Amino acid sequence: MKINPFIHNLTCLVLILFITGACTKTEILPLEEQVKNRILEYKIVNDNVPLFGAIDHDNNTITVYRPYYSGIDLLIPEIKLEAGTILVDKDGKEINLDGGLSPVPVDTAGFQYRILGNDDKIRTYSLFIKTQVYPTPLQVGYSLVGSDIVNDTKEYEMVVGGSILLYGNFESTSTKSTFEIKHRASGKTVNDLLSVNVIKISNGNYVATLRTDIKADTGYYDIKMHHQGRTAQLPPLRLVFRKPGMLTHTSNADWEKAPGEIITLKGYTANTAYVYNATLVGLKRAYMKIVWDKTKYAEFPEGFPESLLDTPIEIDIVSYTRDELKIRMPNLPPGKYVGQADAGGSSTLGHRVRSTTFGIYLDYEDWTGWGKDNLTGYSREMVVLKK
């Protein structure tokens, strides 16, 4: 019988495949374990609404976009990690998340999170915080025209160390601000001249309270303010010295000293009202004068010599700064002294000692223009201890 060559060849091929398949062993390889080292979610939980960070796993970055109206200066984050991973510090030690993550200041740069994966390798994410800018330019000034229009041209004068009210369309209560400041006469850069204490809404207007540096030079300053991604030029600011009208003590116990012991008197600063600020400079001399109006009650130790009345009693100046004076208790007979004092504040004159039985008087250097015999400190009661 003659066999068809095509059928013969096909039959041989099938037999070869059958024999080959029967002799081949199938090997099942285990799946390679997937590396887990990612941050799955980054959420800010202390703003009015939660803020979710945009996580870029390719570039290992987390970007948080803050709304311009956000008033928080610290971000409190929560994170979710892949199973089997932990957060570690720069030394590779695990960070316990039971108490939450550390807050992050909004002006932080270079902040990082390190994730130890299931392959024992560390993956590092860099955090970026960006503020979405308010759509209109920042406008600021020291006063308003009418009830709600910022006067951004009128200059302002304040005592060195005083505080300033600054009106503006801040649209946020965040105090995170920076300044570019130059002293006009010297050309010196003094960017730390101002600090923002608070920004609040008052009568429908945003108002910032700025504290001036007590160590600042007098004169005019040119200032740029940066706030929430916007910049504005402030009107000129002039700082001046102002003679103290009253230095105060904490309590009568401050005047319970032996002769030569130190008494500390404080000046008034940081007020937003011009007259309630003062600067202690150019001090030359201090003395006490005991003035007794015999129509009013006073008490002196037994044997107190009336020759000391209305007579300057020299006081040693230990040291002074622009807002503090340290003196020594004068050399008086020991015992208890009780007298009168009229001292306080006035919206036109500021803090003043108007009269007192036991007064501290100050003389100033000629360049201040403040003269001599300035009644500036007082005590209603003293106890002079024995040495």
Do residues 15 and 22 make contact, with C-beta atoms less than 8 angstroms apart?
Answer: no
Predicted model pTM: 0.81
Residue 2's pLDDT is: 53
What mean pLDDT is reported for the chain?
92
pLDDT on residue 32: 61
- Asked if the domains 39-131 and 140-240 are classified in one and the same CATH topology, the answer is yes
Calculate what percentage of the chain has a pLDDT beyond 70: 91
Spell 132-167 as b/e; 16+ CB within 10 A means b. Answer: eebeeebbbbbeeeeeeebbbeeebebbbbbbbbbb
How is domain 39-131 classified at the architecture level of CATH?
Sandwich (2.60)
Residue 28 in this model has a pLDDT that exceeds 80: no
Say what the pLDDT of residue 6 is.
Answer: 52
pLDDT confidence bin for 251, thresholds 50/70/90: confident
pLDDT at 31: 55
Q: Does 278 have pLDDT greater than 90?
A: yes
Whether 362 contacts 285, CB under 8 Å: yes
List the domain boundaries for the chain: 39-131, 140-240, 252-384
Average pLDDT over every residue of 114-128 = 96
For the chain, what percent of residues have pLDDT higher than 90? 84
Give the tens place of pLDDT for each residue, 329-376: 999 999 999 999 999 999 999 999 999 999 999 999 999 999 999 999
Q: Which of 379, 338, 358, 245 is nearest to 291 (CA)?
A: 358
State the pairing for strand pair 177-183/143-145.
unpaired
Provide mean pLDDT across the span 298-311.
95
Encode pLDDT of 195-230 as tens digits. Answer: 999 999 999 999 999 999 999 999 999 999 999 999
- What value does the mean pLDDT take over residues 133-157? 95
Q: Give residue 9's pLDDT band: very low, low, confident or very high (50, 70, 90).
A: low
Q: Which fold has domain 140-240?
A: Immunoglobulin-like (2.60.40)
Mean pLDDT (whole number) for 79-83: 95
